[in-house]
Structure 1
């Protein structure tokens, strides 16, 4: 079946790669010039194009399904133990404090198929075809939604991070669809080799999710380009800023290292000056919380794309989630490939663990801003060393700590660069004035009396002394 092609597998098991939309043909790393990358600036004026599309979701041109839909499967018998990626988060302990009630998490992805364990599923529209967003031919979006909000079942040990949260599904990408009349390179930002979807409709989907009341947005899509290349993600940057300024937490996959794609060169240095591959929207920090994938021991997965924009990490290996087939009621944990069955892996599936945690925090602390929610997640994460690094950010998330730790409302360093007058030193109080004055006057009077008495006694002392001496002149 054509959906088993390597491109589909890389997308499902990694992230939805939109690199062709930004950078054109992939250039070998050895042939690329060394260019310095600075943090992106956002042009609020670029938001208009996304807003114009957000109110009426539809493909920008006629599309059609050209491949059969994906059919992941479940291997290994009944799931009696929680998956590792779920188990390390200690969700039962976290649920004592929050289950995400009252939160709406937007899944901007390949759509979400209805599933009995996603009872609160709201359609948000379709930028790929003519559905309402509750159709998923690629399986990707349904897997993401299950990780975020699947309700527990007595039949297995799987559950979403925030089982009481609502899912808003917006279909923005599908590798099973293409335009009816493919015209390579005719539209900036278009993908024409591996499906349908572009950065402009992704920006429009973000705006739509905000306007429909989302408190958290999950984006498991990444657009990669070579450092220094002309970017066409201005509307996307403006859209995530739009969300941030309206108090919506945006969580994005960091992207996967994928040979032969625009995400094919690893960022091996540290800091913005060493960036070789840019990942969008992940690089729009601080408006986005970017998520890397780690192994069970907390070390970086060899598939995760590094960068100075990485915020935190979650396990993105051997993923289990909801069956995405129409009418499906069970779970899936594998995809068939030409080499046999393969596990489901990637930062696409690490990100929803963080989005689910954001929903838990928002439900427990509704007064927190989007930035404060992200701070709780990053400040309570666990890394192998002090501080953060460009591979896994601040480290593996810790839901229980994020829900219970006492953190300051503002960072400890907040305001450290604001000049302030140095306060006058505090002088310790001395003894009371009246007793000290009486003692001083008394001492002076006493000394004066002694001096007068001594002066009066001198002549008498001399007379007595002379009577006692012998008369040596006689």
Structure 2
């Protein structure tokens, strides 16, 4: 199964289309995924949420802007999470604010129209509310999502609309911005997109962006806006806390987060499973939202440093594949006696024992297999892992032996 590509925001007129899932997920999903997803099973929620679930000491919910393909708030887990008043659809509105009719004229223009489903999945990982009948929940289930739609399956979004969306997030008083989109087209540090990112940072907004899904060749490559200074760039990790084979590598990577067989909300209701750095970024954005709620006086770069410093590491420092390590939500929220300005090299938390591998049962449908992969427990007599590509096994085995296949850059 190939990973679903992340939505792209390309420069100029050649925008790349946003993904429509992994070919298995359709929506609405009539049935919910009952079990707790593997990426959440490693979290002790009583510890994670002992101080906040996404509201500050005054009861104000942290505001997370999701710049994506829209966020469908008809999913019951997102209905109370989405701020429709400050949402905006850049594909429905002209520059002067009038409404275009190129799409369904009956569709909402407040950012809650998501025929692709990508943005709805991203938002769910951040702030989905608990719901009876499913073990899936967002990492910051009392945070508020600001839906900013600027891309679709046609690739209508570009660097210009992405910059506009960032500025809209600033105007909407966002505390965190999640951008699960990228472009490899060269953009200078003086581009309008770079300027918009810095404007957000100057307003003390944490900017989180996905690293991109073009990493199968293992070659470092800058992606934007993830590689801009101050942006927390997120790669994808698997159950072994190794880089997922598709995850882009580079010296700009801040941390990694689960990105394989990720469960989240879809338009109209239910959940499905998908893959990609697009779904690793909101996992980190959810942690950033919790830190913002607990420490509203911290600077944005201190929240980024906290997430990087408390990540689970396998090397003494930072590498090209997972940055400072795989995010540890609980440690980020509990090992926080004082703010730090930047991460430092040290041994970091001990690496967890990798789970055993087991074969999948015969007779499973693709969707049943995906759900099983996404919900298997950790360390309970062995778990199954997704077999994404034979090249991934070669890469991982070679890395463990201390040498990389040809073309795989190492630090």
TM over 0.5: yes
CA contact (8 A) 2:188 2:194 kept: no
Partners of 1:23 and 1:230 within 8 A in 2: no
Separation in structure 1 between the aligned mates of residue 341 and residue 124 of structure 2, nearest angstrom: 33
Q: Quick one: which of 384, 397, 404 aligns to 2:327?
A: 397
Query: How many pairs align?
Result: 314
Map of 1:17 onto structure 2: 8
Give 2:70's aligned residue.
111
1:4-54 deviation line (CA, Å, top 9, x unaligned): xx9xx96xx2311245x369799xxxxxxxxxxxxxxxxxxxxxxxxxxxx
Runs of 4+ displaced beyond 6 Å: 22-26, 74-77
Alignment of 1:169 onto 2:147:
yes
2:235 to 272, 292, 299: 292
Q: Matches of 1:372 and 1:412 in 2, distance apart?
A: 7
Identify the residue that residue 218 of structure 1 maps to in structure 2.
178
1:190 alignment partner in structure 2: none
Question: Is 1:367 aligned to residue 327 of structure 2?
Answer: no
Judging changes above 3 Å, is the alpha-carbon distance between structure 1 residues 215 and 230 closer, same or farther for their aligned structure 2 residues? closer
| Alignment match, 2:388 | none
CA contact (8 A) 1:103 1:215 kept: yes
Task: Report the Cα offset of residue 232 of structure 1.
Answer: 9.4
User: What residue number does 1:127 align with?
Assistant: 90
Residues 57-76 of structure 1: pairs in structure 2 closer than 5 A: 72=26
Partners of 1:174 and 1:197 within 8 A in 2: yes
Distance 1:313 1:144 in 2: 16
Rounded Cα–Cα distance in structure 2 between residues aligned with 1:245 and 1:346: 29
Taking the aligned partners of 2:315 and 2:63, their CA distance within structure 1 comes to 34
Identify unmatched segments of 5+ residues in structure 2: 56-60, 93-98, 100-108, 345-411
Higher mean C-alpha displacement, 75-84 vs 351-360: 75-84
> Does the C-alpha gap of structure 1 residues 76 and 117 become closer, same or farther in structure 2, counting only changes over 3 Å?
closer
1:81 deviates by 2.5
| Alignment of structure 1 residues 149-168 onto 2, 5 Å | 149-168=127-146
After TM superposition, the structure 1 = structure 2 runs for residues 369-448 of structure 1, keeping only pairs within 5 Å, are 369-411=299-341
Corresponding residue of 1:244: 201
Q: CA RMSD in A?
A: 2.9
- How far is the alpha carbon of 1:400 from its aligned partner? 1.3
Asked whether the equivalents of residues 321 and 331 of structure 1 are also in contact (C-alpha less than 8 Å), the reply is yes
- 1:405/1:232 CA distance change after superposition, 3 Å: closer
Q: Does 1:200 align with 2:140?
A: no
Q: TM-score, normalised by structure 2?
A: 0.70
Deviations 1:193-230 (A, max 9, x none): x42111011001001101111000000000113xxx56
Structure 1 position 382, deviation (Å) = 0.6
Distance 1:413 1:92, change over 3 A: closer
- Tell me how far apart the structure 2 counterparts of residues 346 and 73 of structure 1 sit (CA, whole Å): 19
Partner-residue secondary structure (3-state), 2:208: strand
Change over 3 Å in CA distance of 1:24–1:217 after alignment to 2 = closer
1:22–1:308 Cα change, 3 Å: farther
Q: 1:357 to 1:144 in 2, by over 3 A?
A: same
C-alpha deviation, 1:347, in angstroms: 0.1
Corresponding residue for residue 267 of structure 1: 219
Residues 199 and 233 in structure 1, CA contact (< 8 A), matched pair in contact too = no
Tell whether the 8 Å contact from 2:306 to 2:336 is kept in structure 1 after alignment.
Answer: no
The whole-number CA distance in structure 2 between the counterparts of 1:246 and 1:385 is: 34
Residue 248 of structure 2 contacts residue 321 of structure 2 at CA under 8 Å; is this kept in 1? yes
Unaligned 5+ segments in structure 1 are 1-5, 27-66, 176-193, 259-263, 269-276, 334-343, 415-474
Deviation, structure 1 residue 117? 1.4
**Is this contact kept in 2: 1:173–1:196, CA < 8 A?**
yes
Matched, 1:283 2:227: yes
Q: Could you say which residue in structure 1 is the equivalent of 2:249? A: 306
Distance 1:232 1:196, change over 3 A: farther
| Deviation for aligned residue 1:307 | 1.0
Is the Cα–Cα contact under 8 Å of residues 13 and 158 in structure 2 kept in the other structure? Answer: no
Cα distance in structure 2, aligned partners of 1:153 and 1:99 = 15
2:272 aligns to what? 332
Q: Distance in 1 between matches of 2:124 and 2:308?
A: 23
Q: Do the aligned residues in 2 keep the contact of 1:72 with 1:139 (CA within 8 Å)?
A: no
Residue 122 of structure 1 aligns to a residue whose secondary structure is: coil
Q: Is 2:243–2:321's contact at 8 Å kept on the other side of the alignment?
A: yes
Provide the secondary structure at the position in 2 that maps to 1:279.
coil
